[in-house]
Structure 1
Amino acid sequence: MPGRFFLTRPIAEVAKTLGVSGDVAVQSPRNNIQPGQEMIVLSGNDLIPMRWGMIPVGRVNARGRPVMETIINARSETVFDKTAFEGVRRAVVPVDGWYEWTGEKRRKTAWRIAAADRAPLFFAAITDSWQAPGGLRVDQFAVVTCEPNADLRPIHHRMGVLLDHAGVETWLTGSEAQAKALAQPWPTGLLHIEEATDVDWSAP
């Protein structure tokens, strides 16, 4: 499942690929997008900034206890059933790729994962708005995950649900049953994986 993202191509190019308006704030290339930071997300027909990580205020788990932790990823197997996700909407996160890590603590290897053809990748996500203290509204999202494909299995036991162009529209506007059907591992052989040795992990 995505640990961090990167998006270096212009937002206008992403908007053109998706066939939506590109009237969003211009962003500098970002090689290290971390949970808790803001990203551009497709919601409806608009690209809007949202924070990666959902604060599920007022929600409870299956035992009726408050959900306290910030959620950055949501399992596709349960996202439509858990009370913690009740009332959320669907969104799509456009990126150039993401990072995962393997190995022991302090000796981990970082891996960069992108489309083999260098095209943008589109992650299925859920979104809602949190009313922060003082009345501030925070639009927030979490990435939906599924079982990994053969490319990712040696690196991680989960991967984000990736969507093709038809899948983007279905995820945003289709029925719950249609959305559930999209939660499948990305076809094997369509991703390029390489060791990420050139990233400044302290930079935003």
Structure 2
Amino acid sequence: MPGRLFLTAPLSGAAGEVGLPPPSADDHGRDDIRPGEALWLVTSDGWRQMRWGLIPQGRRNARGRPVMETLVNARSETVFDKTAFEGVRRAALPVTGWYEWTGHARRKTRWTISDSGGGWLWFACVWDVWSAPGGTEVAQFATVTCAPNEDVAPVHDRMGVLLEPAGLSDWLNGDVATARTKMVLWPAGRLAVAKSPES
């Protein structure tokens, strides 16, 4: 759903897909990116480096209680309705793939999921800025998830919402109704799912 990512190609390639200059620093060559780490995302203002995982600020759940946990993923079905995500902005995260696991503890199989044509995957994300103790401000994000397509369903019951580069501006800058139209399931065959040799 994704819980671990990989980035094995220079971000200049992703930048070229959406007509932007590359970010000020490249961080490809990362084959096991976990929540809490920093990544480059595209926002309505261009590239911004952010930490993966939203720490809620003054947000409350449906029972009116403060949301305490760090939110790594946001469900597409409720991301625009839950108070936990009130006021967040939208971003897109380019990666070359992500991992899922099947099986039981100590006997798990790791799967790599990537674009079947070898291209970039653009995850829909939401983000904001957390004011840490001492006044430090930290840009932070969560990936938006949906039900899996036919490629991913055998290994997980959720996957990240994937955006087409041509629709990126609508996701970043459109109103909520327009953004909802971009959260569509990818057709079967667009993703390659393979057993990882390191599983």
Q: Flag whether TM exceeds 0.5 (same fold).
A: yes
Unaligned runs of 5+ in 2: none
Paired residue secondary structure (1:90): strand
Paired residue secondary structure (1:99): strand
Please state if 1:133 is matched with 2:133: yes
CA displacement at 1:23 relative to structure 2: 3.7
What do the CA deviations read for 1:145-174 (whole angstroms, capped 9, x no partner)?
111111111111111100112221111111
CA displacement at 1:24 relative to structure 2: 1.8
CA distance in 1: counterparts of 2:159 and 2:93, whole angstroms: 14
Paired residue secondary structure (1:134): coil
Runs (4 or more) in structure 1 with deviation over 3 Å come to none
CA distance in 1: counterparts of 2:189 and 2:26, whole angstroms: 33
Please state if 1:182 is matched with 2:182: yes
The residue aligned with 2:170 is 170
The residue aligned with 2:43 is 43
The residue aligned with 1:202 is none
Please state if 1:29 is matched with 2:47: no
CA displacement at 1:109 relative to structure 2: 0.6
The residue aligned with 1:68 is 68
* TM-score (structure 1 length as normaliser): 0.94
AA matched with 2:64: G
Contact 1:15 1:47 in 2 (8 A): no
CA distance in 2: counterparts of 1:131 and 1:96, whole angstroms: 31
CA distance in 2: counterparts of 1:167 and 1:187, whole angstroms: 16
Unaligned runs of 5+ in 1: 200-204
Per mean C-alpha deviation after superposition, the further-off stretch among 170-179 and 69-78 is 170-179
CA displacement at 1:140 relative to structure 2: 0.4
Please state if 1:82 is matched with 2:72: no
CA distance in 1: counterparts of 2:77 and 2:112, whole angstroms: 26
CA displacement at 1:44 relative to structure 2: 1.3
Superposition map of 1:141-152 within 5 A: 141-152=141-152
Contact 2:147 2:159 in 1 (8 A): yes
CA distance in 2: counterparts of 1:4 and 1:60, whole angstroms: 27
User: How high is the sequence identity, in percent, across the aligned residues?
Assistant: 53
CA displacement at 1:198 relative to structure 2: 3.4
The residue aligned with 2:103 is 103
The residue aligned with 2:113 is 113
Q: What root-mean-square deviation, in Å, do the aligned CA atoms of Structure 1 and Structure 2 show?
A: 1.2
Contact 2:18 2:166 in 1 (8 A): no
* TM-score (structure 2 length as normaliser): 0.96
What do the CA deviations read for 1:170-199 (whole angstroms, capped 9, x no partner)?
111112011112222211111111111237
Per mean C-alpha deviation after superposition, the further-off stretch among 141-150 and 173-182 is 173-182
